[in-house]
A = this chain, B = another copy of it.
Amino acid sequence: MSFAPLQNDTFLRACLRQSTAHTPVWLMRQAGRYLPEYCATRAKAGSFMGLATNVDYATEVTLQPLERYALDAAILFSDILTVPDAMGLGLTFQQGEGPKFAKTVRTEADVATLAVPDMDKLRYVFDAVTSIRKALNGRVPLIGFSGSPWTLACYMVEGGGSDDYRAVKSLMYSRPDLMHRILAINADSVAVYLNAQIDAGAQAVMVFDSWGGVLADGKFQEFSLAYTKRVLAQLKTEKDGVKIPRIVFTKGGGLWLDDMKGLDCEALGLDWTVNLAKARAAVGDSKALQGNIDPNVLFAPPEAIEREVAAVLESFGTPHQGAGTGPTHIFNLGHGISQYTPPESVKVLVDAVHTHSRRLRAQA
Taking beta carbons and an 8 Å cutoff, which residues of A are in contact with B? 164-166, 169-170, 173-174, 213, 215-220, 252, 254-255, 272-275, 293-297, 299-301, 304, 308, 311, 315, 334, 338, 340
Complex: chain B residue closest to A295, CB-CB: B164
CA distance A293 to B334 in the complex (A): 27
CA distance A300 to B273 in the complex (A): 31
- The answer to whether A173 touches B272 (Cβ under 8 A) is no
Complex: chain B residue closest to A213, CB-CB: B273
- In the complex with contacts A174-B299, A273-B213, A169-B255 CB distance below 8 A: no
- In the complex with contacts A255-B254, A296-B166, A304-B272 CB distance below 8 A: no
- The answer to whether B252 touches A165 (Cβ under 8 A) is no
- The answer to whether B216 touches A340 (Cβ under 8 A) is no
- The answer to whether A334 touches B216 (Cβ under 8 A) is yes
- The answer to whether A166 touches B217 (Cβ under 8 A) is no
Residues of B within 8 A of A294 (CB): 169, 173, 216, 219
Residues of B within 8 A of A254 (CB): 255
CA distance A170 to B299 in the complex (A): 5
- The answer to whether B296 touches A273 (Cβ under 8 A) is no
**In the complex, how many angstroms separate the beta carbon of A106 from the nearest chain B beta carbon?**
12
**In the complex, how many angstroms separate the beta carbon of A62 from the nearest chain B beta carbon?**
24
- The answer to whether B300 touches A174 (Cβ under 8 A) is yes
**In the complex, how many angstroms separate the beta carbon of A255 from the nearest chain B beta carbon?**
5
CA distance A359 to B35 in the complex (A): 60
Residues of B within 8 A of A173 (CB): 294, 296-297, 299-300, 304, 308
**In the complex, how many angstroms separate the beta carbon of A211 from the nearest chain B beta carbon?**
12
CA distance A252 to B173 in the complex (A): 21
- The answer to whether A300 touches B217 (Cβ under 8 A) is no
Residues of B within 8 A of A217 (CB): 272-275, 315
Q: List 9 A-B contacts (CB under 8 A).
A: A173-B294, A173-B296, A173-B299, A173-B304, A215-B273, A218-B311, A219-B294, A220-B273, A254-B255
CA distance A218 to B310 in the complex (A): 13
Residues of B within 8 A of A220 (CB): 273
**In the complex, how many angstroms separate the beta carbon of A340 from the nearest chain B beta carbon?**
7
- Across the A-B interface, give the 3 residue pairs with the lowest CB-CB distance, nearest first: A169-B296, A173-B300, A216-B272
CA distance A294 to B275 in the complex (A): 26
**In the complex, how many angstroms separate the beta carbon of A347 from the nearest chain B beta carbon?**
17
**In the complex, how many angstroms separate the beta carbon of A300 from the nearest chain B beta carbon?**
4
